[in-house]
Structure 1
């Protein structure tokens, strides 16, 4: 009797571990409005660079594939932000303007960092006209690599894949443009 009862309990437990009917996963693209964001482009697979971006893959906030950061080369500006961050709101117009005037000269990538409200992150990017791809780092994978205490943090990636970090918000368009020139050699 005990064996039959144990077998019945085991079968019940194992039945709970079996396959379940498939349902669509609720990833970042399932967030309302995410289709209004610029899709993340596919990237060419490359070997990691010494002193380069970390070998970490992050999901796209809008449509498109996940992006492996170690594959990226510059000139590239990566802005780490969050919708709950007041300084991120203050510097957003400078980044939007940079995207418009730097088209064809450099790429911009946003990373929504430690943000519990994906729908508000999408709204933030759309409302501030941040018309470039955005990734999600909800697990704070980049904290150590970029020395992030809190956003905003901006990373300048050169053509060889090496990067430098600027912590804090930009105070003017001229400051951001000068950093792009100094760090990446791109005049706007």
Structure 2
């Protein structure tokens, strides 16, 4: 148990197994999250510091929607699926079941970013109700807008093992088959 806890808090590189085990633990609802509401989403693990890479995620730190430390996006390596969403976004709600199913498969680590959302308590409720059982960050001030050229959510970025963003899907994911195919084609992860 101690080894698993240590791995969860010190390494994002082994995220396929680590985040799956972190996300399966129920959050301690007695502890307030960074948003001030009861933590009901997966905790964010600590990430080791890495140098930024060209074509990587932006070099910004975002606060965890649940419990856990802020995450510096440039530290992250994949394979990793990053979904930018908001609770007020209708298309985000439409694609949520596909993201939840991918997370449940445990085949690829996932990270959500609650974007330009004025109601973090509703974001926690949305992520919980939709079964988005992976860590989520908060970008209320659109910090990543320019770097990822976000017109609005949803947006899904695919990050390879070296930390490069190899593909960005702008707009709603329309089927599980589409998402699974993107994961296979862009990240080389068979589902």
TM-score, with structure 2 as normaliser: 0.81
State the Cα distance separating 1:50 from its structure 2 match: 1.4
For the residue of structure 2 that corresponds to 1:109, the secondary structure is strand
> Which structure 1 segments of 5+ residues have no match?
1-26
TM-score, with structure 1 as normaliser: 0.82
Residue equivalent to 1:100? 104
Structure 1 segments (4+ residues) deviating >6 Å: none
Residue equivalent to 2:153? 151
Q: How many pairs align?
A: 159
Residue equivalent to 1:69? 73
For the residue of structure 1 that corresponds to 2:81, the secondary structure is strand
For residues 92-137 of structure 1, the C-alpha deviation after alignment (integer angstroms, 9 at most, x for no partner) is 0000000011x1x321000000000011001000000100000000
CA distance in 2 between counterparts of 1:144 and 1:165 reads: 14
1:90 matched to 2:94? The reply is yes
For the residue of structure 1 that corresponds to 2:134, the secondary structure is coil
CA distance in 1 between counterparts of 2:33 and 2:113 reads: 13
Residue equivalent to 2:34? 29
Larger-Rg structure: 1
State the Cα distance separating 1:31 from its structure 2 match: 2.7
Residue equivalent to 1:161? 163
